């Protein structure tokens, strides 16, 4: 009895102390314990200052993370330059010409909004450590922005842009943004990768802002109410290197699931399905595992792309650009849902949602038509990039792709694609003056490439592997989607697909046997009936 009263008294004293502490504010400011990190960057003195530029933030970061910029300097995200080991081609945004906004060179002030550096230009210093932008991948406020026109720099003071336009870009305070840094979230990656090609969902088809907060129907891995993966769960970095670039796609991963620390797994692409699911992923319907040596997981498990109610561009015709409205401004035409189907500065577009992919044999080698490659209008459409693959090379699987078609300017005399100067306040930028002659001349001069002065338009195609927006297994393709004569794989050659394929000789022979068996039975029956009557 005495012990119980003692406990009660102690409890009352503790409760009283707690009340006093809370009442005096002694523990009122205690923040909830962060369990996903061992460092709260808001407590670091280096970050408790007023920053006048992004580079100043980077210098503060580097005072602790001494090797970070040096690691970044080795990455494709930084260099925008990569040599394809299979073809020897120099790829990356500094080298390729695509059939969206065509080229980053000559447009760096705008395009560099999506470079992980500050002050990108034709003469950019790729060796400067303070030029690395840590915030774009690590800030968590969602307030960090690098507006187009500022060469990848954030705007820290209210600025009128374009100059004399009356439009004000609000400056942002970099200190709380710098203090918020943490592991990369999907929104960090999405800032650029969801908006590739000039807007939400434009380029990839399987990457758009619907993946900010997807449900399971859209993506079983990223669903907030499911596995809640971030991009880096699969694209797992090592020394800031991000695996899984389309410039060096893994067409076939025939290894078992990755095992941490296993020496043989060093350097493997962690972003393949097999790196987690292995070679026999189907446990309940083991027959489906017979497909994995020929068919990429994505083929069945991503039945359509652009499923998140955000359409993707499927066609872009630059040749029709240049029209103005009655006020002399570039013409804008929208569809019923408000998506632009014509822009005076860009030409005609086609948008689609819930798109069925095309299917190809893909071994990962991605061959580009580069700025110095010869092209001929008689052979249009020209492949901007084309994945290689075959049923017999032992390295290919049947993959789903987005096929994006376009019509873009080229030099008919030199027979090359051209670099176009699109963005900028100067008189040569196409989006300012709608003058192709000036825009292409300026673009080619900046890129240091020969230009005849003549411009024509040529039809082009680009291929984009589809690998995100993985649907739940009950939404995967049904068998008859492929195992039928006019199914999704109707055009795929070099593989026998039951239900699709037939050999005329075997079919004739089989039907012949059936016919003769039937005729024989019928004849035999008739003869018995006939002979019975006789007797």
Partner 1 sequence: MPKYFSRLLCSAALAVSAMTVAVPASAADVKMVGVVEKIQLAADGKSAQTTLKDIKSGNPVVIFIDDDETLAKFKDKRIGVGDEIRTKFDDAGGKNHSKSFKKTAGC
Q: Which is nearer to partner 1, 169 or 458 (CB)?
A: 169
Q: Minimum distance between the CB of residue 337 and partner 1, rounded to whole angstroms?
A: 5
CB of 169 to partner 1, least distance (A): 11
Q: Quick one: 60 exposed, middle or buried, by C-beta within 10 A (0-12, 13-18, 19+)?
A: buried
Q: How far is the CB of 327 from partner 1 (least distance, A)?
A: 16
Residue closer to partner 1, measured from CB, 160 or 290 = 160
Beta bridge partners of 405: 315, 461
Q: How far apart are CA 491 and CA 291, in angstroms?
A: 18
Min. distance of Cβ 421 from partner 1 in angstroms?
Answer: 14
Q: How many CA atoms lie within 13 A of 208 on its CB side?
A: 24
Q: How far is the CB of 199 from partner 1 (least distance, A)?
A: 3
- The label of the residue with tokens 């439009």 reads 167
Q: Which CB atom, from 146 or from 488, has the smaller least distance to partner 1?
A: 146
Pick 145 or 277: Cβ nearer partner 1: 145
Q: Are 453 and 441 in contact (CB under 8 A)?
A: yes
H helices present in 194-347, as ranges: 231-234, 274-277, 297-301
Burial 456-479 (b: 16+ CB within 10 A, else e): ebbbbbbbbbbbbbbbeeebbbee
Write out the two tokens for 153. Answer: 């720099």
C-alpha span between 260 and 278 (Å, rounded): 14
Residue 211 β-bridge partners: none
Round to whole Å and give the CA distance between 474 and 506: 36
Cβ proximity to partner 1: between 210 and 385 the closer is 210
> Which residue ranges make up the site for partner 1 (CB under 8 A)?
101, 110-111, 113, 142-143, 145, 148, 170, 195, 198-200, 202, 209, 309, 334, 337-338, 423
Least separation in angstroms between CB 206 and partner 1 = 18
Q: How many CB atoms lie within 10 A of CB 184?
A: 19
Tell me the H-state helices in 448-503: none
Q: Which is nearer to partner 1, 93 or 301 (CB)?
A: 93
Contact 111, 147 (CB under 8 A): no
Judged by beta carbon, residue 118 or residue 195, the one nearer partner 1 is: 195
Compute the least distance from the CB of residue 408 to partner 1, in Å.
17
Instruction: Give the nearest distance from C-beta 86 to partner 1 in angstroms.
Output: 31
Residue nearer to partner 1 on the CB measure, 170 or 377 = 170
Q: At 83, is the secondary structure helix, strand, or coil?
A: strand
């Amino acid at each position: 009895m005495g012990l119980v009263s003692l406990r009660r008294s102690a409890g009352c004293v503790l409760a009283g102390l707690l009340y006093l502490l809370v009442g005096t504010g002694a523990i009122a400011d205690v923040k909830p314990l962060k369990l996903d990190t061992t460092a709260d960057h808001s407590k670091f003195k280096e970050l408790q200052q007023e920053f006048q530029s992004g580079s100043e933030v980077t210098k503060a970061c580097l005072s602790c993370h001494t090797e970070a910029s040096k690691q970044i300097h080795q990455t494709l995200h930084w260099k925008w330059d990569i040599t394809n080991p299979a073809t020897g081609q120099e790829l990356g945004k500094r080298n390729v010409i695509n059939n969206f906004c065509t080229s980053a060179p000559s447009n760096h002030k705008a395009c560099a909004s999506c470079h992980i550096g500050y002050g990108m230009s034709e003469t950019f210093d790729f060796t400067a450590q303070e030029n690395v932008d840590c915030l774009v991948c690590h800030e968590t406020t969602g307030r960090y922005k690098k507006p187009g026109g500022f060469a990848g720099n954030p705007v820290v003071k209210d600025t009128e842009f374009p100059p004399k336009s009356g439009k004000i870009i609000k400056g942002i305070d970099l200190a709380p943004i710098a203090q918020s840094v943490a592991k990369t979230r999907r929104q960090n990656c999405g800032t650029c990768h969801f908006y590739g090609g000039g807007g939400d969902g434009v380029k990839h088809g399987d990457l758009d802002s619907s993946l900010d907060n997807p449900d399971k129907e859209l993506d079983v891995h990223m669903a907030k109410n499911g596995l809640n993966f971030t991009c880096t769960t699969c694209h797992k970095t090592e020394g800031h290197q991000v695996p899984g670039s389309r410039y060096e796609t893994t067409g076939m991963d025939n290894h078992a699931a990755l095992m941490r620390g296993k020496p043989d797994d060093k350097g493997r692409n962690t972003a393949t399905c097999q790196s987690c699911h292995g070679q026999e992923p189907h446990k309940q319907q083991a027959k489906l595992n017979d497909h994995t040596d020929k068919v990429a997981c994505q083929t069945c498990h991503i039945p359509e792309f652009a499923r998140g109610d955000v359409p993707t561009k499927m066609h872009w015709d630059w040749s029709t650009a240049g029209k103005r409205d009655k006020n002399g401004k570039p013409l804008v035409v929208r569809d019923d849902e408000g998506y632009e189907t014509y822009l005076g500065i860009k030409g005609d577009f086609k948008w689609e949602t819930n798109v069925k992919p095309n299917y190809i044999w893909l071994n990962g080698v991605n061959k580009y038509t580069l700025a110095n490659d010869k092209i001929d209008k008689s052979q249009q459409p020209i492949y901007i990039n084309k994945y290689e693959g075959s049923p017999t090379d032992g390295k290919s699987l049947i993959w789903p792709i987005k096929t994006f078609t376009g019509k873009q300017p080229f030099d008919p005399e030199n027979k090359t694609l051209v670099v176009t100067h699109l963005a900028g306040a100067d008189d040569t930028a196409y989006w300012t003056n709608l003058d192709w002659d000036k825009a292409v001349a300026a673009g080619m001069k900046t890129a240091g490439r020969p230009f005849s002065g003549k411009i024509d338009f040529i039809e082009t195609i680009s291929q984009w592997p589809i690998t995100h927006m993985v649907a739940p297994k009950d939404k995967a393709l049904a068998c008859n989607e492929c195992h039928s004569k006019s199914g999704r794989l109707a055009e795929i050659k070099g593989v026998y697909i039951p239900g699709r394929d037939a050999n005329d000789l075997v079919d004739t022979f089989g039907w012949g046997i059936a016919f003769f068996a039937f005729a024989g039975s019928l004849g035999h029956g008739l003869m018995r009936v006939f002979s019975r009557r006789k007797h």
